[in-house]
Structure 1
């Protein structure tokens, strides 16, 4: 069976010699047939025919073995008239040797020679490639050798760019270029393919006016905060702005924190105290002995020694707000409350060691407490609430959001708590309580709240759209006097709420709302979302993220209907595009424009 393929391998010097001598597979086959004809014809018969075939194959194997093996190694195409029936099997040692030679050639980076011919005689290689591959047959002298050019006869030094002449010998660089071959030609770089993956670009639109001179000075001071003491006293008017600016890149250190310290300070706020060590926090109290209000965000390095120092260094402290006091133990909290009986505001977030004995000590020692925040406190449970009930009649701010266990506080316990303290509350945050349902709205909030201005009930999956709608529809006339409209409403991440609840909320509090969070209200229809701008004209911050029906028209209604608007969050709103209306001073955050890059 004739074989026709395009498999080509490296051409050896012997192959080239045989080709120039006219020895081809066709001549070899003709020689075999000639020998078979010259032999006497044997008697016909099956056994004699087999012997003749075997003898013919033996002649080919013995007499022409080198030629046949050479051509087989080169993978040359065989003629249709040559029926090579057998191939000698290589030993394992020979196969291993051939594999080793192939690997050695691959490591040297030798290119495959395309000098072999095909049956149709076609040549698909370009002139430069075919010529350069054909010249690789003769052994090249080592680099640095002096040889004569086979064309011009001039002596030149062999380099890695030296190429062989078609008729033998080697060409210098000048003659090689004259023949149309550039020895210094580099292979073309492969074309880079564009990735097929889809990338999501999130667009934020925020237009800023030209910064004022004060803002420019604050930016310069914050970028050179370590050297700011050379300017002397810069005053206290812009210290808060500088503190916010350096908190963005956590530039506050124990060395430059003294910029904010003053013996006359009564109010101190540091928005990022990550780099402040316990000794520097103790020095803070020593250098600001008259503080009455202190706020420290990200104060994770605070430990028992810091509060122990504050017990003596901050005798006038009345309000403290801490974010992340992880290392403070329960006994240290108790001693702090005992040394600060004048506390009116205690607001902490993320304090896993704060337990029921701490809240008991706080209520007993700080009888004038009006603000209480126990946010993300891991041990918060029902046994905390009876102690908080003792603050009835004086508590105006209560935040018990995100307990360590979402089901640690029951619906009945929270209802009982509001029965005692609800009348004076202006801010209430009970987000993250998984057991909170519609019953709490009608038994806790509706009959016992009179002055509530801010309500946060996010991540309360038991609330229903119909229940919330009925609550807001009847809340205004539930008591005498009724609860006034809310200024801040955060009911996000409640997927069961929708159009009825939003319409009732706008009917009850739309005229006074300054911020509203309906993030995740996937069932809220577009026509109700588009009324936010008209029914709540005092809105400043709006979060309609992951509301499936929010669109460009929703943003248009907000920017046109709310003159004081500063921020609109539209994360996950696929119908809000990059072409949504924009307004100077209004930041539209989270536009997810789908672009293929």
Structure 2
């Protein structure tokens, strides 16, 4: 009985306001678990209860705050504390945004995302070539201290400058010498008109001049060349876009000793320029007029006057030359030609082969007839069968889709023994047997393009590797029968096998 009374007395002290804390702490009886809801939970419960009884959307309700009538929408919020509803204006005034989209719960980072990532700054170190170019450019005025660097070293320095596109008016004098007879700029993008004039003044003895990407050269520079380059014999320019007919004519009048004239991409070179070239430079042996926008049949009678031509390139005109005009040209100059390029003259037909090439060419060793769709398989075979020309070293007939077995066999029988480079890209109809004959006939072949020849397989490549002992480069892009089992040979580059590009 005493124990029960003592326990009852202890519980009374715990519940009382002035109970003894020591008795409360020392009480060994089990406590009831505290299960009362927090204030936030009570608010949430009241809101949930209110939301269940939310009036239908579109009905009218009275705002418990401003006592104004409003229309119930999906964004209507319950008053806190309730009961009742708030209009949108009063809800915003109380700090709530009824139109705010619910925030998506934050995704808990996985173990992998908690790792500390240390970022390292990638430092790009300047190449040795760039350092040398910068030093030379800074001390270009003292370049004489290097002494005689030699013609070979000068050419190599020019290549390095071009590769980095760092040839400027400031460092170009490094390549100049009054004794220069040969000068080549492989990227003159940053040279202006004055730089080209300076070139002629500081290299008066130059005989061979090549300048690639000379888009900023103009009439004044060419006129200056005509007045100062009295020894020049070979001129090769890529991209002289700004030169007008007056500039070309002044050059030809002042440099009548030219024997090699090669230009590419000159849209303003017209019939008057061609007439001036034929009038003044009568000893031409090499002529390249590639991608000339105003090229047409009227140019060819002037070219016929160059009886000593050995190399002729009239490729990629804006408008194709006609078969009749080209046949007439070959009748005049074909007997001495060793190189001929008439690519992308899409109006040329088999008559060009039978009436132009077959009866005239005798010493042609290099021919490029790319993308001439009117040429047929039988017509090309007839040319190689009937021609009295010497066997050729380089033949390019790429993207002539009509050419196939007859042309390839005729080509190999005529020139296979001396052939060094062969390009038959896109001969889709060439059979496997015809392709196998390449290795049998072309014993000294070094470079071959079989791209898009669908019948090329491992046996074709094996025959070429075994038969053409000097082969160095084979291109087989889009030859779908070639895979990782393609035969290989040390020292031979086989490019385009699909499995290698993964």
Q: How does 1:560-575 map to 2 (within 5 A)?
A: 560-575=466-481
Q: How does 1:123-202 map to 2 (within 5 A)?
A: 186=109
2:52 corresponds, among 42, 60, 71, to: 71
* 8 A contact 2:453–2:479 mirrored in 1: yes
Q: How does 1:78-117 map to 2 (within 5 A)?
A: 89-91=58-60, 93-95=71-73, 97-98=75-76, 101=97, 103-104=99-100, 106=102, 109=103, 111=105
CA distance in 2, matches of 1:110, 1:441: 76
Give, in angstroms, the shift of residue 255 of structure 1.
Answer: 2.3
Give, in angstroms, the shift of residue 97 of structure 1.
Answer: 3.6
The residue that corresponds to 2:167 in the other structure is: 252
Give, in angstroms, the shift of residue 494 of structure 1.
Answer: 0.5
The residue that corresponds to 2:358 in the other structure is: 446
CA distance in 2, matches of 1:506, 1:67: 91
CA distance in 2, matches of 1:90, 1:552: 81
Aligned-residue Cα RMSD (Å) equals 2.8
The answer as to 2:356 corresponding to 1:360 is: no
CA distance in 1, matches of 2:207, 2:266: 22
CA distance in 2, matches of 1:189, 1:295: 60
CA distance in 2, matches of 1:240, 1:532: 38
CA distance in 2, matches of 1:88, 1:301: 74
The residue that corresponds to 2:398 in the other structure is: 492
* 8 A contact 2:316–2:343 mirrored in 1: yes
* 8 A contact 2:420–2:444 mirrored in 1: yes
Alpha-carbon spacing, 1:536–1:277, altered in 2? closer, same or farther (3 Å): same
The higher relative CO (CA closer than 8 Å, separation ≥ 6) is in: 1
CA distance in 2, matches of 1:565, 1:453: 19
CA distance in 1, matches of 2:490, 2:163: 24
1:588 corresponds, among 466, 472, 494, to: 494
Alpha-carbon spacing, 1:308–1:257, altered in 2? closer, same or farther (3 Å): same
The residue that corresponds to 1:316 in the other structure is: 231
Q: How many residues align?
A: 417
* 8 A contact 2:476–2:496 mirrored in 1: yes
Give, in angstroms, the shift of residue 68 of structure 1.
Answer: 6.0
1:429 corresponds, among 322, 337, 341, to: 341
CA distance in 2, matches of 1:327, 1:104: 63
Q: 1:320 aligns to what SS in structure 2?
A: strand
Question: Unpaired segments of 5 or more residues in structure 1?
Answer: 1-10, 19-65, 74-85, 113-128, 130-184, 191-218, 476-481
Q: 2:152 aligns to what SS in structure 1?
A: coil
Question: Unpaired segments of 5 or more residues in structure 2?
Answer: 1-38, 61-69, 78-87, 89-96, 114-126, 137-142
Give, in angstroms, the shift of residue 344 of structure 1.
Answer: 0.6
Give, in angstroms, the shift of residue 88 of structure 1.
Answer: 6.8
Alpha-carbon spacing, 1:365–1:494, altered in 2? closer, same or farther (3 Å): same
* 8 A contact 2:447–2:471 mirrored in 1: yes
Alpha-carbon spacing, 1:246–1:564, altered in 2? closer, same or farther (3 Å): farther
* 8 A contact 2:428–2:454 mirrored in 1: yes
The answer as to 2:307 corresponding to 1:401 is: no
The residue that corresponds to 1:226 in the other structure is: 134
Q: 2:261 aligns to what SS in structure 1?
A: strand
2:373 corresponds, among 461, 471, 475, to: 461
Q: 1:530 aligns to what SS in structure 2?
A: helix
Tell me the alpha carbon deviations over residues 306-335 of structure 1, each in whole angstroms, 9 at most, x when there is no partner.
111111221111110111111000111111
The residue that corresponds to 1:419 in the other structure is: 331
* 8 A contact 2:197–2:224 mirrored in 1: yes
CA distance in 2, matches of 1:285, 1:71: 94
TM-score for the superposition, normalised by structure 2: 0.76
* 8 A contact 2:176–2:202 mirrored in 1: yes
Q: How does 1:366-405 map to 2 (within 5 A)?
A: 366-392=281-307, 394-405=308-319
The answer as to 2:240 corresponding to 1:334 is: no
CA distance in 2, matches of 1:251, 1:553: 47
Give, in angstroms, the shift of residue 504 of structure 1.
Answer: 0.8
CA distance in 2, matches of 1:222, 1:267: 25
Give, in angstroms, the shift of residue 188 of structure 1.
Answer: 6.5
Alpha-carbon spacing, 1:188–1:266, altered in 2? closer, same or farther (3 Å): same
Q: 1:380 aligns to what SS in structure 2?
A: coil
CA distance in 1, matches of 2:362, 2:278: 24
Q: 2:495 aligns to what SS in structure 1?
A: strand
Alpha-carbon spacing, 1:502–1:313, altered in 2? closer, same or farther (3 Å): same
